[in-house]
Structure 1
């Protein structure tokens, strides 16, 4: 008997006895009050939170050869073991929610594929989420197989009423009306045998849900968004994902400091002269960002008076200042800047202007090359390129959702200039400065 089983049995037994005591049923049956109150407590047990799949395990579970083994060796009758598992991975749904999917669980709205399911654990029925096109096509193929199985068994296609009650993954045992879905025991038995054959340790399907939640947090989603998407009762149920999202990637990227475009040697690693960096050296570059720097556009300012709250003596001209440093977390920002300058140089009216633009941007290009070289030696170059500092929920903020056409802004600026022109008074100037 496990500790969890002991707790469940004792807790429910105590509840039954106490309810009988309060309702008077214990007295009617002749149960001694001392016996009811002497029922021992189950005691507290330590509940361990499921961890996400490690990178090695995730690659093994997603490998095409292993997926084919799952279908061929552990689901020879093609009941949908692989399809159900891929749905769990992609959507983060609970196993029971996927296994009990209805036949007509797919639809499109505005051309976007949607999956309809019941979140019975939280009492949320007919919930829809967007799914990738590849998963939509796989489940459509499963729909055709289920309909063909029904036609083979009953020698006819299902009626509209029967179709409404058909599961996407029907069971092949005691299922004469084809309304019974596969059981979780069947799914778990095949999945466990597959995991054992891969020799990657002990893992359960529910950990795919934790992996997805952790990935969403790292991408910038809030606990509220994750709770709604995964169908959880409260944010407290999602809070245990937070410590998993605080990986060392962001901190390591911010601890890699390089000289900015305005320095004497742009792109030079400021805290160590070894390039390329190793992970041990990168972890040794831990710098107290709160006391030694302040965030700036595309990097950090290390000028101490500004860090401690003073005014910038250079009018915030950060990119041309030798006190400005780049961090590993800003690589994507500077790559975009490089593309903008390349477009400007390509659109120059003559070669002389193009050469001038290339020379002007050359220190910045050296800084970007040094940043990429340092991150390549450190290892997380691809992660740095995928790290966008804008979070998804930022786009719902009014600042991001309020947009204007560039042509309209240009026209508005021209009209304002022609309206005020030379007739602008000192009072108007003071008012504009106050607004600014």
Structure 2
């Protein structure tokens, strides 16, 4: 018995017993409360982690000749084993989500092919993702076959009410009303036999999900985008799908900066919106924090001759200098500064003084807004908000090394304010 098996057995056994205790079923059966509460715990929680497919395995599992073998040799009744596997590979959906797809899961919106599925796994088919045209055509062919199977079994086409409940991949066993989809056991049995024929080692279908997430991250997608596409509840759940590519992107993130409030255009975002940087673009604008900076209050100085401040031609007026940059680790510092200036403005003796204070801090406020938008676009905003640099370990966090030029931040604040004003005018 493995540790994982022990965990699963004891966890579910304890759950059943506790539910019986709460519902009163244990008392009705005469099951002693002490026995229920004495049930051992599963111990240390063990999670299974899967690695993505290697390049050689991925090529073998996607080769046309091998896919034809999968359909011909391991799905003789033509129930859709190949189509289900290709859908898993292309969309990264869980195996259970694919084999339980409904017949009317396809649609076109604005000419784009979409796939509707039960992402929450509670029976709500209200999530759609875009799919390639080739997969859309293959699934359309599977729809026609499923309707033909129904017509052969019932000697008539399905009515509208029946069609709404038909699965795209119906089972051919114990399925008199044609509403029963294929089982995971059936799919796994055929998939495993196919792998044995290919002689490429032991793999499981769920690793296609890891492979897609890794490819998305390498292509520049943030964890936030990957989480939304894969249907994860949190970014923490998405992280273990992309562990292989995380180091690739961190090489870029550690050198991506935006500038501080003293620049000509404080708050201008790097890409103009919240889309993640491509690797090429990020490398082109990269600044080496270790070689070209000196720590300053609330950020870094990138004027190379400055070491201890003695050669600073601006008299250490960092916050008004275009050589001053903000890093992701400075976000909380500047948020506190913003609150301090707001309190000062609110306590001003007259409106003129309050307006002056607001105007004086305006470039800094735009830089802070731009920093937040840039960090959000890179999927680092939550990390930055959790990092207050009060422990030595925090200085080794990737947010510490993620800085942005203030000149690249200023338009972010402008864009957001302009959009808000436009929305308010449209509502009015």
TM-score category (smaller protein): 0.5 to 0.7
Note the C-alpha offset of 1:70. 0.7
| Preserved CA contact (<8 Å) 2:103 2:143 | yes
SS in 1 for 2:125: strand
Structure 1 residue 150 displacement after superposition: 1.5
Given that 2:106 and 2:116 are in contact with CA atoms closer than 8 Å, whether structure 1 keeps it comes out as yes
* CA shift digits 1:373-415 (9 cap, x unpaired): 9999999999999999999999999999999999999999999
Secondary structure, aligned partner of 1:295 = strand
1:157 Cα deviation (Å)?
Answer: 1.6
Q: In the alignment, which residue of structure 2 is the partner of 1:177?
A: 177
Residues 213, 307 of structure 1: alpha-carbon distance in 2 compared, 3 angstrom cutoff: farther
Greater Cα shift, 399-408 or 198-207: 399-408
CA contact under 8 A between 1:143 and 1:168: conserved in structure 2?
yes
Number of residues of Structure 1 aligned to a counterpart in Structure 2: 427
Which moves more between the two structures, 88-97 or 16-25?
A: 16-25
Alpha carbons 1:101, 1:117 under 8 Å: kept: yes
Greater alpha carbon shift after TM alignment, 216-225 vs 305-314: 305-314
The CA RMSD measured in Å over matched residues stands at: 15.0
More helix by share: 1
Q: Is the 8 A contact 2:222 2:377 kept in 1?
A: no
CA 124–340 in structure 1, closer or farther in 2 if over 3 Å, else same: same
Q: Is the 8 A contact 1:167 1:179 kept in 2?
A: yes
CA–CA distance in structure 1, aligned partners of residues 9 and 68 of structure 2: 41
Specify whether residues 133 and 324 from structure 1 end up closer, same or farther in structure 2 by C-alpha distance, changes over 3 A only. Answer: farther
Aligned partner of residue 168 in structure 2, secondary structure: coil
Given the superposition, is the C-alpha separation of residues 398 and 252 from structure 1 closer, same or farther in structure 2, using an over 3 Å criterion?
A: closer
What is the rounded CA distance, in whole Å, between the counterparts of 1:14 and 1:300 in structure 2?
54
Give TM-score scaled by structure 2 length.
0.59
The answer to whether the 8 Å contact 1:3/1:45 transfers is: no
How far the C-alpha of 1:17 sits from its partner, in A, is 3.7
User: What is the Cα deviation at residue 62 of structure 1?
Assistant: 0.9
Partners of 1:230 and 1:416 in 2: how far apart?
Answer: 28
Of stretches 261-270 and 109-118 in structure 1, the one that deviates more from structure 2 is 261-270
| Mean CA deviation greater in 169-178 or 219-228 | 219-228
CA distance in structure 2 between the partners assigned to 1:321 and 1:137 by the alignment? 58
Query: What is the alpha-carbon distance in structure 2 between the residues aligned to residue 308 and residue 135 of structure 1?
Result: 62
1: CA distance, partners of 2:328 / 2:170: 51
Where structure 2 has 5 or more consecutive residues not aligned to the other structure, the ranges are: none
Give the secondary structure class of the aligned counterpart of 1:271.
Answer: coil
Q: Which moved more, 1:361-370 or 1:155-164?
A: 361-370
Under a length normalisation based on structure 1, what TM-score does the superposition of the two structures give? Answer: 0.58
Matched-pair contact (CA < 8 Å) for 1:167–1:181: yes
Provide closer, same or farther for how the CA distance between residues 254 and 312 of structure 1 changes in structure 2, counting only shifts above 3 A. Answer: farther
1:342–1:247 distance in 2 versus 1, CA, 3 Å: farther
Partner of 1:112: 112
- 1:199 and 1:367 map into 2 onto residues whose CA distance is 56
1:217 deviates by 1.6
CA drift at 1:31: 4.1
My pick for the range that moved more, 258-267 or 76-85, is 258-267
Contact 1:249 1:380 in 2 (8 A): no
Aligned CA distance change for structure 1 residues 397 and 168 (closer, same or farther; 3 Å): farther
8 Å contact 1:227–1:234 — kept in the other structure? yes
Aligned with 1:246: secondary structure?
Answer: helix
Q: Per-residue CA shift, 1:29-52, capped at 9, x if unaligned?
A: 554444333322222253231111
> Per-residue deviation at 1:125?
2.9
Mapped contact 1:108–1:114 kept (Cα < 8 A): yes
- Give the C-alpha shift of residue 272 in structure 1: 36
Kept in 2: contact 1:293–1:304 (CA 8 A): yes
Contiguous gaps of at least 5 residues in structure 1? 420-428
CA distance in 1 between partners of 2:407 and 2:243 (Å): 46
Determine helix, strand or coil for the equivalent of 2:240. helix
2:269–2:409 contact (8 Å) kept in structure 1: no
Per the alignment, do residues 355 and 173 of structure 1 end up closer, same or farther by CA in structure 2, a change over 3 Å counting? same
Contact 1:95/1:206 (<8 A) preserved: yes
- Tell me which moved more, 168-177 or 20-29: 20-29
Q: Name the CA distance, whole Å, in 1 between partners of 2:427 and 2:357.
A: 34
Contact 1:277/1:374, CA 8 A, preserved across alignment? no
* Deviation at residue 97 of structure 1 after TM alignment: 0.9
Separation (CA, whole Å) in 2 of partners of 1:8 and 1:412 = 49
Question: Retained in 1: the 8 A contact 2:326–2:404?
Answer: no
Structure 1: distance between partners of 2:69 and 2:336: 43
Structure 1 residue 311 displacement after superposition = 11
Shifted more, 213-222 versus 240-249: the winner is 240-249
Contact 1:271/1:285, CA 8 A, preserved across alignment: no
The answer to which of 301-310 and 208-217 deviates more is 301-310
Partners of 1:334 and 1:368 within 8 A in 2: yes
Contact 1:122 1:232 in 2 (8 A): no
Deviation at 1:261, TM superposition (A): 31
Partner-residue secondary structure (3-state), 2:232:
coil
Structure 1, residues 273-292: CA drift from partner, whole Å, max 9, x if none?
A: 99999999999999976315
**Residues 265 and 408, structure 2, Cα contact 8 Å, conserved in 1:** no
In structure 2, C-alpha distance between the alignment counterparts of 1:347 and 1:116, rounded to whole Å: 55
Larger Rg: 1
Query: Which structure carries more relative contact order (alpha carbon 8 Å, separation 6+)?
Result: 2
Residues 256 and 269 of structure 1 are in contact (CA less than 8 Å); yes or no, is this contact kept in structure 2? no
Q: Give the Å deviation of 1:305.
A: 3.4
